[in-house]
Amino acid sequence: MFHACPSTVRAFLRNAAGSLYHIIVVALSAGIALLLPAGAKQFLAFWSHVEHDKLSLIAVEMTVAVLLIAGLNYIHRSIRDRALASVATGAGLVSFFPRRARRAQESIAELKEEHGTGRTIKVMGSSGCSAFVDQVGDLSSVLDKCLGAHILLVNPYSYEASHRIRALNHPEITLDAFRQEVRQSIALLKRLKAMGKAVKLKLYADPPLMKMVILGDYLWLQHYHADLAVGTMPEYVLRHNRKEHGLFTLYAHYFEQRWESAEIPEYDLETDELVYHSRSGQEIRRERFEPHAAPENIGALTDGLDCLDEPGRISRIDGYNPYRDGQSMDIPSLSSR
């Protein structure tokens, strides 16, 4: 009931604004018609005074010239803007938010909530924490009202993700913090699935390129910058149209291509495993999501074992010790060397 009240008030205000617009136009038309005779008399009196004064005549001519230049520039700019607007409409671009100001955030949240209710949303992002877990995130309320969700996030244990976070060299952006954010997003998706929503999660290994949200016929798009947070990036809103050259179709096709890729495993929200499927959809293998040792720790371990001989490396890495297991080794004597 409380969610329906704001939409009813907004609809009432839109109808009232349309009626008020027509009333103002009719009132202005009537006022101009009533003031036209008096205005014509004033203009004739003014002109009879100006035509005998050269300075006043020159001033009037210059004023008219400036007004003509300004008017023609305005008409030219309006024609150019209309052409750009036509191109943007043909491409499917309906809104552009250059910065995430407070008013812009409210407009984005309202649009996403309006078009995400009762739909299956599709999201492609990085960790998903700022969008899902944060209570002021732009998708926190949409997930509660959607029917299902297809989520693409970055695998925090992949080499590419680890390399990108280290390359950022930011004190607040660490690998452990990023992995914790992904775990929080997974916990939220588990709760949504327990509520009966059709939620699917896939984890891709390459560095994030863009943040994409698809809600019905609308698509929100932001790109990831190497040094800046995604929240500071401009946001574009695309709408699906019947034209084949629309950008909505391009990005939606890109999402579906990534989603159906056999190289991207699906995250099993019940067993916490990565499930790989073939192109025909058959399950091939499963892997643990969180390995026992991170790749960088394994690399440090093997680097420290380079000084050992081959049997020593085997016993340290695999836990294999032939002497401990009661097995013998053929060690060549000094005479045989």
* Tens digit of each residue's pLDDT (9 = 90 or more) over 60-115: 889 989 999 999 999 999 999 999 888 888 888 888 877 665 665 666 666 666 66
Q: What is the overall mean pLDDT for the chain?
A: 76
pLDDT at residue 139 tops 60? yes
**Residue 27 Cα to chain centre, angstroms:** 46
Residue the block writes with tokens 């016929």: 217
What was the pLDDT predicted at 294? 43
Read off the pLDDT band of 152 (50, 70, 90): very high
SS3 string of 149-185? EEEEEECCCCHHHHHHHHHHCCCCCCHHHHHHHHHHH
pLDDT at residue 173 tops 80? no
Tens-digit pLDDT profile for residues 210-248: 889 898 888 988 888 766 666 678 888 898 887 667 889
Mean pLDDT of 14-38: 84
Integer Cα distance of 140 and 310 in angstroms? 54
pTM of the predicted protein model: 0.64
What was the pLDDT predicted at 153? 92
Residue type at 139 in one-letter notation: L
